[in-house]
Amino acid sequence: MVVQNSADAGDMRAGVQLEPFLHQVGGHMSVMKYDEHTVCKPLVPREQRFYESLPLAMKRFTPQYKGTVTVHLWKDSTGHLSLVANPVKESREPFKVSTESAAVAIWQTLQQTTGSSGSACALAQWPHAQLARSPKESPAKALLRSEPHLNAPAFSLVEDTNGNQVERKSFNPWGLHCHQAHLTRLCSEYPENKRHRFLLLENVVSQYTHPCVLDLKMGTRQHGDDASEEKKARHMRKCAQSTSACLGVRICGMQVYQTDKKYFLCKDKYYGRKLSVEGFRQTLYQFLHNGSHLRRELLEPILHQLQALLSVIRSQSSYRFYSSSLLVIYDGQEPPERAPGSPHPHEAPQAAHGSSPGGLTKVDVRMIDFAHTTYKGSWNEHTTYDGPDPGYIFGLENLIRILQDIQEGE
């Protein structure tokens, strides 16, 4: 959405109002929607350098890097806070903000509920859990009074002119949680006119109607080389107490579309930390289950891409992907049933961009979050490593093995 900042008559610059990215299922750093095909996140120099020097073999497994943009806080006449990316183009039109976007409407409703006046940004603590509310209650109010873990979706109600509920849209509240925390920090730590740099990245779920997303924290070590002793100890403790230690992978967040109830089943990082090895396996199974049956056709293309990624990681000497995540994505909207005599879905060609090879059901496997990635030649590195990342490889091998067990019905 394009808006114009008229706060300074001598500097009339158009901008894009950033929206909370409602399909963010994990992480602590806010990811924002820039346009339908682009998201953005706060710039970390180490991550920017990684994208700018990305090995060719890894490009198919990472979001496309689209550059950077300057972002600033903006408050409208009603006190709603938002982030605006500048500049986009010269404009002399009056400042307008559209509320057609579901993300913007939800966020503004939340601010109306919690208040956003003054530099203190009095935004209430975000919710995280099972939501139950009356039809008259706003989604924001239901969010605000929920328990402190995000294990269920929130719902946005659409009403007709008579006030009757006509549509119920499910969304994962984790992205809104991260957005609120980020705005609160910006308001409390920086002046309102402070300019911030954000990375522009491909929106890897834009091609999906109901994107099912699994966020996996990869490797047996999560702290970067620059971590303080306190942070190092904290991350080592999290790894030791979760499947990161024994499997090299743990669940950091998940949303999976349930076709029977038409909503997203959501799990957060706190849920993932508590899982045993068997619990991890069951959650992978749940990620592939749409509420009525297991999507078995997804297993072959997911395994195909994971095995290709494993081959690439094994060839990347000196890289250590500390604290990075791996996204597994597919569409909760199943393809229509084939007509008699038509090719089987595994045989039918798929012309869509990014479709899996051999006509397999489309899935995506993408590495993200490289703020703590290190490699030979990266700037200001005090520690370098030889050979590929053993912790990441260990996690990928175990992930592949467990999915193969599910495929074989074990």
* Residue extents of the structural domains in the chain: 14-90+174-204, 207-336+359-409
* Sequence-ordered list of residues with C-beta below 8 angstroms from that of 248, at least 6 positions apart, any chain: 218, 219, 220, 391, 392, 393, 394, 395, 396, 397, 398
Phi and psi torsions of 176, nearest 5°: -70, -35
Tell me the whole-structure pTM to 2 decimals. Answer: 0.78
Q: At 184, which helix (H) or strand (E)?
A: helix 174-189
User: What pLDDT, on a 0 to 100 scale, did the predictor assign at position 381?
Assistant: 64
Average pLDDT over residues 230-238: 87
- Going by C-beta distance under 8 Å and a sequence separation of 6 or more, which residues neighbour residue 24? 30, 31, 172, 174, 175, 178, 253
Q: What is the pLDDT of residue 224?
A: 79
**H-only helix segments in 8-79:** 45-52
Q: Both tokens of residue 235? A: 């991350």
- What phi, psi does 327 have (nearest 5°)? -100, 135
pLDDT for 400: 98
* pLDDT reading at 220 higher than 60: yes
Q: Determine the Cα–Cα distance for residues 303 and 314; give it in Å rounded to an integer.
A: 16
pLDDT digits (tens, 9 = 90+) for 78-102: 877 889 998 544 333 333 444 455 5
Mean pLDDT over residues 320-324, rounded?
Answer: 93
Beta bridge partners of 37: none
Q: Of 123-137, 154-168, 219-233, 237-251, give the lowest mean pLDDT range.
A: 123-137
For residue 332, which phi and psi values (nearest 5 degrees)?
A: -70, -15
pLDDT confidence bin for 129, thresholds 50/70/90:
very low
Confidence of residue 277 (pLDDT cuts 50, 70, 90): very high
pLDDT of residue 364 exceeding 60, the answer is yes
